[in-house]
Amino acid sequence: MINSRKCYILSVIIFLFIGISQPILAQTPDTQKGQASWYGSKYHGKKTSSGELYNKNKMTAAHKTLPFGTKVKVTNLENNESVIVRINDRGPFVGDRIIDVSEVAARELEFHKAGIGNVKVEVLELPDDYNPKNAGVFTIQTGTYTSIRNAEQLSHKLKAFDRHLDVELTNEQFRGKKIHRIKAGRFESRQQAEAFNELLKEEGLSGLVKEA
């Protein structure tokens, strides 16, 4: 969500416009246990993956797969403190962390100073317009190279643009040559993906939205 948050505006457009290879939405369990982290002032006022502006004082959170608008209960397993937050961003993409809550939520859960906490995440309510039968996974194919060095350089630029962005570098054989493809982000709709792609375009990093 830093400068990189621009990438997230693109994600709003990207989310609305494409996908890459498998038109399936990842199934997410009703309850998860694992580590939570938080983000605050550094990202305050920046664009989130959903297109909203991040507000450190609102009960929101980032999750890797849950639909935007989903309400979840997050409980700190160390002290049994709990909050209800709304998913409006993607992440965290550090280690095995399962959720990234807002600063105010971290304070309520009392792991603000520690930075991370062991939590339980329970899905309480999915958004009204959520339909798993029509949901897909979309991504942005930002580049195809024969040079691994060039591919890695683009990957680094994308991560510098947004540290929360899921960047995938794959290798394939094409006409007897090894090629390297870079895919950025995982979005729930073509429109969101296209929106995010527009943000990338401002930095010269845009690509093609495809169904994953």
Let me know: does 205 contact 167? Beta carbons within 8 Å: no
Instruction: Calculate the CA 153 to chain-centre distance.
Output: 21
- Do the strands 71-76 and 116-125 form a parallel or antiparallel pair, or are they unpaired? antiparallel
Per-residue pLDDT band at 174 (split at 50, 70, 90): low
Residue type, 210: K
Does the predicted TM-score (pTM) go above 0.85? no
pLDDT digits (tens, 9 = 90+) for 37-93: 999 888 999 888 888 899 999 999 999 878 889 999 999 999 999 999 999 998 887
- Given this model, what pLDDT does residue 17 score? 39
Give yes or no for residue 172 having a pLDDT over 70.
yes
- Given this model, what pLDDT does residue 105 score? 97
- Given this model, what pLDDT does residue 166 score? 86
- Given this model, what pLDDT does residue 177 score? 80
Six token digits for residue 97: 């962390």
More confident residue, 102 or 143: 102
Closest CA to 182 of 205, 163, 199, 161: 205
Q: What percent of the chain has pLDDT over 90?
A: 42
Residues sharing a CB contact under 8 Å with residue 27, sequence separation 6 or more, in sequence order: none
pLDDT digits (tens, 9 = 90+) for 92-139: 877 788 999 999 999 999 999 999 999 999 999 988 776 665 666 889
Average pLDDT, the chain: 82
